[in-house]
Structure 1
């Protein structure tokens, strides 16, 4: 499924069932901000099937767990910012980031699209399941999943495909039907979208409304929030994240919007992950 960011191709969800295939037609600025190590984070390895992948853990021992899923950039500074913030939300969480790209990080949109094109999405769902299982085996009685952009779509997919998940909060991303149908979600879902997001069929208003209709059919608790004046990736409020968004044409800066979304995130997870 090719998704458009304005008049430019944003990325391509590379499912075998998809009949759409496009390439980047415009250049993007290259960002010299590499994935930053955080002293509070511990790097671990998780086994699933016949493969092992790296993950990053931060937060309270024996706290509820939250799997935090990357944007198309990879495990970079912004997803680590999110995980660190989540770990410090009341009542305290153990946040885990699985490295779906196996150590690779996109420094510009062309690299990010290349990495995303090469992602085994069914394999990524298995990584999420292994991450949830690791948290539950290491002190977390309940585990939620959250994600941003690509990770948001995967978070919703996990609500359908990973039976061990207890709650999901997704940011600006809806999985294509080839991967998962949100009508079949097994857990409560909260989702967040910007009203000015123009990634057609993935995170624009039409996609958000379509998700809402499917969640109504699921019979599970849900919330779908639309934020006026917000474009794609509005949760990225670090100086580096703002710079990167501006380079891709997203000029809105509204920290209050992000804080409102964080407040709703905290309420949702504390409700459904309480022991």
Structure 2
């Protein structure tokens, strides 16, 4: 399904998004869902739909402006070409502000590239109330994790070669040193283990991580 919604960024520009809400859900808590490197595809829309079924308004900013990647090489090219600073401070923050104006508390939930942006949102979107990252870590130059003021949850695979365990441990050390409220979970699984359309899908790990995410959202948004 193409983007069916628009929101205004802090710079005044409009951005497209996929939006779904519970019925009735005008004032329900919100979750900004942030895509993997594929773009807004059927899988990320299903994530948003599941959140709506759980009682949340879900907004997925279209970071690629309608484009999708059909293979890993194209996805890497699109991700490399993305301005992460603009995406975090304008698209993600604008999506948070949009949901905040129309209801209650708001969290981000991102996957891979989106996991990076979810954590960047926690650093750069003061309106945010909580953040969840599935296998994604921001680079050191993107900001100081110790400045995060909201609760953070992370889900990482011990077989992940893109974000290996030692980088997760280093990130956790920074959160702990700064007394950031966090919970990080490790799974005996590879990268992108929750994507049911991908080669490395791990149903057991995905189910557990999803339930932990719902529990986290319920605790911090309701």
TM superposition score normalised by structure 2:
0.93
Task: Please provide the CA RMSD for this pair.
Answer: 1.4
Over 4 Å off, 4+ runs: none
Cα deviation, residue 174, structure 1: 0.2
1:159 aligns with 2:141: no
1:184 aligns with 2:132: no
3-state SS of 1:178 partner:
helix
What is the distance in 2 between the residues matched to 1:234 and 1:262? Answer: 11
Question: Which structure 1 segments of 5+ residues have no match?
Answer: 1-36
3-state SS of 1:101 partner:
coil
2:193 equivalent among 234, 243, 247 = 234
What is the distance in 1 between the residues matched to 2:12 and 2:30? Answer: 24
1:123 aligns with 2:86: yes
3-state SS of 2:70 partner:
coil
2:215 equivalent among 252, 264, 267 = 267
Cα deviation, residue 220, structure 1: 2.4
Question: Which structure 2 segments of 5+ residues have no match?
Answer: none
1:56 equivalent among 6, 11, 18 = 18
Matched length: 217
Cα deviation, residue 267, structure 1: 0.8
Contact map agreement 1:157 1:181 (CA 8 A) in 2: no
Residue 44 (structure 1) aligns with: 5
1:86 equivalent among 51, 58, 70 = 51
What is the distance in 1 between the residues matched to 2:52 and 2:167? Answer: 30
Cα deviation, residue 146, structure 1: 0.7
What is the distance in 2 between the residues matched to 1:105 and 1:149? Answer: 16
2:170 equivalent among 210, 223, 230 = 210
Cα deviation, residue 74, structure 1: 0.7
Whose helix proportion is higher, 1 or 2?
A: 2
1:220 equivalent among 165, 174, 180 = 180
Residue 71 (structure 2) aligns with: 108
Residue 31 (structure 2) aligns with: 66
3-state SS of 2:126 partner:
coil
Residue 10 (structure 1) aligns with: none
Q: Based on CA coordinates, which of the two structures has the bigger radius of gyration? A: 1
